[in-house]
Amino acid sequence: MFRVTNEAIDLSELVSYVTDPEAGAIVPFIGTTRNNNEGRKVIALDYEAYPEMAEKELARIGEEAKKKWPICKMAIVHRLGAVQIGEASVIIVVSSAHRDAAFAASRFAIEEIKKTVPIWKKEVFEGGEVWIGTQSGQPLTALK
Amino acid sequence: MTVRVKFFAILRDRTGASEVSKELSEGSTVADLWRELQKDYPKLAVPGIRLLYAVNQNYVGTDYCLREHDEVVFLPPVSGG
């Protein structure tokens, strides 16, 4: 299950989805909205996506994880829109026969999400708002 | 040929548009399209920003040759998670 949603993410639904009689471990990762960033007092995060491509990229991450580790099932759901402090912005749940594979695949997935999935967050803080993001693309000057 | 361009995040803010159609000459690349768009939207080039490029929801390079009805997106730095 790889999707983006405007609704609150239901952890138990994802756990049910990856539950498998062959699995001996289920690892959930919940990314939550923190109340501070780089010295700023954060009020909320506002997420936006290129939804069709984001879901495609999430599925690609799942396929790659399956090639790298013997996992049973994986679910990744990323929230869009305004996410209040303490709420989940992303949940990854992985099941595997033995725990090492699920832990490794979960770690891989969150790192990849931050690099390749077309989702952007705008940080709304006391006194303003700013788009967050760092990545290694080509500088704009390369296109001039 | 005509291509469709979608803007997200900071680029949508800077252009004030989320989707536009653009007429291009045959053989135009992603880089050519970017140059044309900068004429329409002088504020598009955010100083120091690094971009990635997607055509029909796949990452491509700047020298990718566009075709009729392609959906092109200039992706500002992603920040999911």
The amino acid that residue A74 corresponds to is M
Q: A137 vs B10: CB contact, 8 Å cut-off? A: no
Q: Which residues on A lie below 8 Å from B45 (Cβ)?
A: 140
Q: Tell me the CATH architecture of domain A2-126.
A: Alpha-Beta Complex (3.90)
Put residue A127 in one of left, alpha, beta given phi > 0 → left and psi -120 to 50 → alpha.
Answer: left
The interface pTM score, or ipTM, of the predicted complex is 0.90
pLDDT in tens, A18-66: 999 999 999 999 999 999 888 889 999 999 999 999 999 999 999 999 9
Contacts of residue A98, defined as CB under 8 A and 6 or more positions apart, other chains included, come to A24, A25
Class level of CATH domain B2-75: alpha beta
Helix (H, G, I), strand (E, B) or coil at A97: coil
User: pLDDT tens digits, chain B, 81 residues: what are they?
Assistant: 999 999 999 999 889 999 999 999 999 999 999 999 999 998 888 777 788 999 999 999 999 999 999 999 999 989 999
Q: Is A143 on the interface with B (CB under 8 A)?
A: yes
> What are the residue ranges spanned by the domains of chain A?
2-126
Q: Which residues on A lie below 8 Å from B77 (Cβ)?
A: 120, 133-135, 137
Q: CB–CB of B18/B73 below 8 Å?
A: no
Distance in angstroms (rounded) separating the CA atoms of residues B71 and A131:
24
The burial of A33, by beta-carbon neighbours within 10 Å (0-12 exposed, 13-18 middle, 19 or more buried), is given as: buried
pLDDT in tens, A84-132: 999 999 999 999 999 999 999 999 999 999 999 999 999 998 888 888 8
pLDDT in tens, A90-100: 999 999 999 99
> What are the residue ranges spanned by the domains of chain B?
2-75
